[in-house]
A and B are shown apart, each in its own frame.
Chain A
Amino acid sequence: QLQLQESGPGLVKPSETLSLTCTVSGGSISTSDYYWGWIRQPPGKGLEWIVSFYFSEKTYYNPSLKSRVTMSADTSRDQFSLKLRSVTASDTAVYYCAALSRWLTYIDFWGQGTLVTVSS
């Protein structure tokens, strides 16, 4: 069974870049079985899909965040990362990494989530 674990700073200053890494165990991010992605949830609010990629294929973005998001992968470590530029207080949220189905049709496995607060 896949397990995913997010890591990164819990506090980021406004206008700076939020950087998070997801480490996958119980499987490889090079597999053809899953897309990999990020979802966030502001405190007390609903879920918002951010970005997904399939190894060696195109990356898909939430249009409202596309201009500020970069997603990358390190297959040697079975890790993938999220960078969100020019953050503001509205980017404060619990960020989840996830494994999505092969056809990007549903989220199969979730990380436990990590709270990132944007504040000076």
Chain B
Amino acid sequence: QSALTQPASVSGSPGQSITISCTGTSSDVGGYNYVSWHQQYPGKAPKLLIYDVSNRPSGVSNRFFGSKSGNTASLTISGLQAEDEADYYCTSYTSSKTLLFGGGTKLTVL
């Protein structure tokens, strides 16, 4: 199974909005509403940001928004803050009952 496709890096200025894409196939992203997103700071464990495409766990800021269209899911971060600088990974449930990660996207806040 090949990794989901994410841009290697994105950047934005404080206060701006950015979007990170995550492209898969009809056997994973396109086939189920089971895309999740994790945030990871250097040297730390990932943290769940979004699950089931667009749901936020308790305590996650509403500046993080998830969506999906066809085989591509997206994470939008609005009102960019310095603390948002981190790596972001998408994950999708697959038809084989496995989990597939994206390659990760490094967000730089300019």
Contacts and interface: CB of A to CB of B under 8 A. Distances in A.
Contacts of A11: none
A70 interface: no
A105 B48 CA distance: 12
Contacts of B36: 105-107
Given A46-B3, A49-B99, A62-B98, A106 B89 contact: no
A112 interface: yes
Contacts, number: 67
A107 B99 contact: yes
10 contacts: A46-B101, A47-B91, A61-B98, A63-B98, A64-B1, A105-B52, A107-B46, A109-B48, A110-B46, A113-B45
B51 interface: yes
A74 interface: no
A106 B91 CA distance: 7
A96 B103 CA distance: 17
Contacts of A96: 45-46
Interface string B27-64: 00000101010100000011110011000010000000
Interface of A: 46-49, 52, 60-64, 96, 100-101, 103-113
Contacts of A104: 93, 97, 99
Contacts of B34: 103, 105-106
B96 interface: yes
Contacts of A108: 48, 51, 57
B86 to A, nearest CB: 13
Contacts of B32: 105
A63 B91 CA distance: 16
A111 to B, nearest CB: 7
Contacts of A100: 99
Given A64-B1, A113-B45, 13 more contacts: A46-B3, A46-B89, A46-B103, A47-B89, A47-B104, A63-B1, A103-B34, A104-B97, A105-B32, A106-B52, A107-B38, A110-B46, A111-B45
B100 interface: yes
